[in-house]
Structure formats: structure tokens, C-alpha cells
Amino acid sequence: MKIPQRICQVVGVLDQRQSIPSEYEPIFEERIVLICNPLERLPRKATPRPKAEYKAHDLLKKARKIYLEVLERFPLVFVPFILAVSPASCQTWKASEMWRDLQGCKATPLSNNIYNYMERLAIDRGIHQTAVYKRIKQLLYPKAHPRPRTITETDECWTYNAASVDKVCKFLNERLYTTFDNSPKRLREKEENLWKTTHCIRMRFPWNNQQDAIVQLDMAFDCEIVQTLFPSAWDKFILVHGPIPLQDHAVGYPNSRQYDNASFTFHGAAVSRVSTILGSHIYQAIDESQLRKWETANFLVTTTDCITLHISRSQPHGCTLCLRVGSSHAVFMATRLYSFSG
């Protein structure tokens, strides 16, 4: 029987039994201990070791590496894999074939019976405190922590408006400040001679706790910023709606009676682009937020909902960038944006 078929057979057995069958227990114990305990170098001896001893040691090292790779890439298949694939079989299965074949293996989450057995075994063998065993539990039995909320999404919060334009200029990087200064709302403020203060950057803080704060920044539409921060969403937007014509950006801010307030909303910003577009201090503020910590704990590493962008459907397509930031960094931002002294 080929290896993928053996794995699928074990998957079926585990689904049917909802436990580790007794005939598999010695194999499971041997391999889970191997995985959780890094292999040390063989100590020197007065007489040379046989080559077979070195070969056996190298075989176990390679098998452990493959078991750990399967854990990270296919956690649902991990237990069936270590039960079906011996260290010797790991040597003969090409990596490219292995990953392709494992993608076709369908496994369901493991039962609590298997978890309880694994816990007893880990304590008995002294591996329950190892980093690898904790990682195994984290991937095989992820805890369902609810997405953190913030009351700044309600009216139970402090709202800061009327930021100092000079402070905004010093706080934002040049690219971001340019989009702020050319936003439709800011252009209208200038027409009304509001040169020193602006309502185009706003902050909301919870009343009585350390939940996340919200920062809203009005911007002019900038195709490069949108495409860089939201590459996937932008591609889908272009596919459905087509590009936004450049000449539309210069259209004056519409009368409130003509403005329909409808907008396109972009979620899932690329984490790797945040520092480049928004600056390192804003990146740190986002990274400190409870929401970002929750995302990281739930393996949402490459994208984040701490940044959303609303693009007005009406010309001139003004934008509002919404940031969810940690409480301590939010206080720092507020003192820089709303302090008129110095």
C-alpha cells in the first residue's frame, strides 16, 4: 500500500474510533516523544561508532524535521501522518510529492478522547512543558477566543476633533500628509479659511477602559496607496468596477444634498506594506492593538482588519482611512495631534 493510502486509512480509523487504537499507541508514543525532544549530537566515544549508528541517528533527525513540517503545513493530517509514516519511509518520499499528496488527504478535527490521551502521555513522558508539545496542542486544538471589541464603535467614547494642522504635518509622513491636504474635505476647509485646525483627522477613545482606539483620516484618492495597502481587494475592485478615472479626482466637493454618502469599503490590508505607507509609528500603534494581537494568535499574519478604507462612490471619490490602534499609542498620537502648546 502506498504512503498516501496508508495515511487515508489511518484517518478513517481515527474518525471511526474517535481515539488512538491500542495497536497504534506504542507508535504514537515513540514518535511524539521523538518530535518533542530535539536530538542531540552523539557524544564522543573512546572507540569509533559503527556507521550504522550514525545512519540511524541521521534518519531520526530527518524524520523529526519532516514531522514538524507536516504539523505546520497540514495540522489536521499530523496525527495520521506520524502513525502511518515511519522514520524510514520519510527518507524515500520526495518532498514535492509529499506536499502534493497530503493536500488530497481530508481529515476532521481530532476528538477530545485523543486530546486527553495525548495529555496523559505528555505528562508521563515529561514533554508537556516543551515548546513543541505546546505548539502541537495549539495547532491540533485551537482555542476559540472571540474577536476583541472596542466600545469606540459605539457612542460610549471620547471623540477628539479639530486637530492642529501644523501637528498633523509633523506627525504624518510626506506622502500621507499630501493625500490629507488634498482631500475634498480639507480643500473645503481651506475655502472656509480653516488653516490652523482641521476636522479631517479624528480619534475616538473608550470612556473607562484600555480597549483599542479608532483613528479616522480623510484623504484624497491615491491609486498607488490603495493598491499597495489592499492589493487583493483592489484587483477585485478593478475587475468589477474598472479603474477610477484620474480626471474625477479634481471634481469639487459636492453639496451635501447631492452627496449620497455611499462608499466602497476595503478590508484585509497587507501587513508587510503598512510601515512603508503609513510610517513606523503608526505601524507600531496598530501592532499594539488588541485586535492585531488576536489576529496574530489566530494565524492571521499577512493581512489585518486594523486598517479599513472607505472610498466615496461619488466624485471626487474622497477616502477615509480608519485605523484601530492600541490604547497607549493612541494617547501618544492624541498628544501630538491635538496639543496646541509648544
Asked, for residue 195, whether it belongs to a domain, the answer is yes
Q: Are residues 74 and 94 in the same domain?
A: yes
Place of cell 477602559: 209
Query: Which among 337, 327, 308 is positioned nearest to 200, based on CA atoms?
Result: 337
Count of domains observed in the chain: 2
Sequence-ordered list of residues with C-beta below 8 angstroms from that of 79, at least 6 positions apart, any chain: 14, 20, 28, 110, 114, 140
Q: Are residues 224 and 264 in the same domain?
A: yes
Asked, for residue 342, whether it belongs to a domain, the answer is no
* SS3 state of residue 167: helix
Q: Are residues 176 and 324 in the same domain?
A: yes
Instruction: Give me the pLDDT at residue 141, please.
Output: 84
Which residue range(s) make up the domain with 158? 151-337
Instruction: Give me the pLDDT at residue 200, please.
Output: 95
Q: Are residues 269 and 170 in the same domain?
A: yes
Asked, for residue 145, whether it belongs to a domain, the answer is no
Q: Are residues 302 and 155 in the same domain?
A: yes
Q: Are residues 207 and 71 in the same domain?
A: no
The tens place of each residue's pLDDT in the chain, 342 residues long, gives 677 788 888 888 888 888 998 998 999 999 999 999 887 776 666 677 677 776 777 888 888 888 888 888 888 889 999 998 888 888 777 666 777 777 777 777 888 888 889 999 999 999 888 888 988 888 888 776 678 888 766 677 888 988 999 999 999 999 999 999 999 999 999 999 999 999 999 999 887 778 899 999 999 999 999 999 999 888 888 888 777 765 444 444 555 445 556 788 999 999 999 999 999 999 999 999 999 998 887 778 889 999 999 998 877 788 999 999 999 999 999 998 986 554
Q: Are residues 184 and 268 in the same domain?
A: yes
Instruction: Give me the pLDDT at residue 105, please.
Output: 75
